[in-house]
Structure formats: structure tokens, C-alpha cells
Amino acid sequence: QLAIDAAASNLEAGGTVLLPRGTFLTKSTLSIPGGIKLRGQGYGSSPLAIQFDAGGSVLAYCGTDYAVKLEGHAASLEDVAVYDWRYPVGGYCDTVQAAGGVLVEADNAAVE
């Protein structure tokens, strides 16, 4: 979140934040403001069959809100898998219920 916030405050026309390969566990919603793109390294052959060791970028969410919120014009998420994290089995993340995966907050005019 800190890299995304820094990009938003330093660039008038927007920018891209690169998410490296790996699995990134977060318990807080990732907010992507208008003009910012979060670009990962892919997610394997299918976002529905994530292979955690395939060298892609996975946001592993463990929380009660949405995992990612796109907030504003031209906010985007690219080549990143968003996963409802359930590990360890029987632990906190296995019992918490998220509100959802990715929320696009539009301005009541259009969603691009």
C-alpha cells in the first residue's frame, strides 16, 4: 500500500507500481487510487487454478472487507491473482469471511 500511495502523491498523470513475483499476504484492503496501475508478473495458466510456485504475483487476502478497491478514473489491476487465503487450516484466515475480491468504485457514470 505504501508504494501505491507514494506513486499517487508523486505523479500528476498516474503511474505504475510493479508487484514482483511471489505470494503477498495482507489483512488490509489494498486501495488503488485513480491513475494508478498495480501490475504483477502474471498468475500462471488460469486465475481460477492458481499455482503458487509458478512465478506469478498473488495477493493472498485474509480480512473482512474487499481484498482490492479500485477507486477512481483509470485505476487498474493487471496480471495479479487475488486469492481468498485460507491457511493455516483451522487458523484465523480459515475462519474469516471476506466481503469480496475486487471492488470497482465507479462515479455513477461508467466503468472502464
Quick: pLDDT tens for 14-42. 688 888 888 899 999 999 988 889 999 88
Give the per-residue pLDDT at 66.
Answer: 93
Give the per-residue pLDDT at 97.
Answer: 92
> Could you tell me what percent of the chain has a pLDDT over 90?
31
Long-range contacts formed by 33-36: CB under 8 A, 24+ apart:
33/4, 33/8, 33/71, 33/72, 33/75, 34/71, 34/72, 34/73, 34/74, 34/75, 35/8, 35/11, 35/72, 35/73, 35/74, 35/75, 36/4, 36/7, 36/8, 36/75, 36/76
Sheet containing strand 15-18, strands side by side: 15-18, 36-39, 76-78
* Average predicted confidence (pLDDT) for the chain: 82
Tell me the pTM. 0.80
Give the per-residue pLDDT at 110.
Answer: 47
Alpha-carbon span 39 to 54, nearest angstrom = 17
How is residue 67 written as a grid cell? 481484498
Give the per-residue pLDDT at 103.
Answer: 86
Give the per-residue pLDDT at 4.
Answer: 73
> Could you tell me what percent of the chain has a pLDDT over 70?
79
Give the per-residue pLDDT at 69.
Answer: 92
Alpha-carbon span 48 to 95, nearest angstrom = 21
